[in-house]
């Protein structure tokens, strides 16, 4: 079942709570991506000191506030969750523009749906297919997630995610290799044509 960490008795005391409410209302009212990103600027950054003026840096709380809110609103079914990820693809790409962001979005998906392994599996697959996260991030998350290190929690869905990721990586490598071979063949044909034209001139 869905696990929303923002729905606890002390919820109003949590950092980012007020912004989460605003984000939820913005999503319901069909606000634009730009408007939602503007709202997310108010999320405090736990990685930044109050007197730090050297830029915002990676803000994990932004991902938590937005994605937990989004997944909660779309928790009715797989199709609702898929549609939500597709609709807010641009925002998710902005929030995961670094390796830390990609890892953290996977952590949030796990925390939200920890009691629904199948949902985790299909959402991670969707995140890969839509290029919000990459295969390397999924592999790193699997290794670094302390709950996955324990043999007890290495259930079928975890292996399913990892195997699916490896298959996608292999397909990508094969595609790159094919493109490289085609580029080499094209270059060789061009070089042969040049050599042939020089011989004819002589």
What domains lie within the chain, and their CATH numbers? 11-170 (1.25.40.180)
**pLDDT 10s digits, 126-178:** 998 888 998 888 878 877 765 554 444 455 566 666 667 777 777 777 888 88
Claim: this prediction has a pTM higher than 0.75: no
Residues 2 and 114: beta-carbon distance below 8 Å: no
Which helix (H) or strand (E) segment holds residue 30: the answer is: none
Nearest to 127 by CA among 174, 154, 88: 88
One-letter-per-residue 3-state SS of 151-165: HHHCCHHHHHHHHHH
Residue 9: pLDDT band (50, 70, 90) is very low
Average pLDDT score, the chain = 80
Local confidence band at 73 (pLDDT 50, 70, 90 cut-offs): very high
| φ and ψ of 41, to 5 deg | -65, -20
What pLDDT is stored for residue 48 in this prediction? Answer: 73
Higher pLDDT, 98 or 8: 98
Angle CA(172)–CA(174)–CA(180) in degrees, nearest 5?
A: 105
């Amino acid at each position: 079942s869905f696990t929303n960490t923002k729905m606890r008795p002390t919820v109003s005391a949590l950092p980012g709570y007020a912004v989460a409410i605003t984000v939820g209302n913005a999503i319901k009212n069909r606000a634009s991506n730009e408007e939602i990103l503007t709202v997310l600027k108010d999320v405090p950054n736990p990685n930044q000191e109050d007197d730090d003026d050297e830029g915002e840096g990676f803000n994990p709380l932004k991902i938590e506030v937005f994605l937990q809110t989004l997944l909660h609103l779309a928790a009715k079914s797989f199709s609702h969750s898929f549609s939500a990820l597709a609709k807010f693809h641009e925002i998710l790409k902005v929030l995961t523009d670094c390796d830390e962001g990609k890892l953290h979005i996977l952590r949030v998906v796990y925390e939200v749906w920890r009691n629904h392994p199948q949902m985790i599996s299909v959402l991670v697959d969707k995140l890969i297919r839509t290029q919000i996260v990459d295969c390397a991030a999924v592999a790193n998350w699997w290794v670094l997630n302390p709950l996955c290190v324990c043999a007890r929690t290495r259930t079928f869905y975890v292996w399913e995610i990892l195997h699916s990721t490896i298959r996608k990586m292999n397909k990508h490598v094969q595609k790159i290799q094919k493109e490289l071979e085609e580029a080499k063949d094209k270059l060789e044909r061009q070089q042969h044509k040049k050599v042939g034209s020089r011989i004819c001139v002589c």
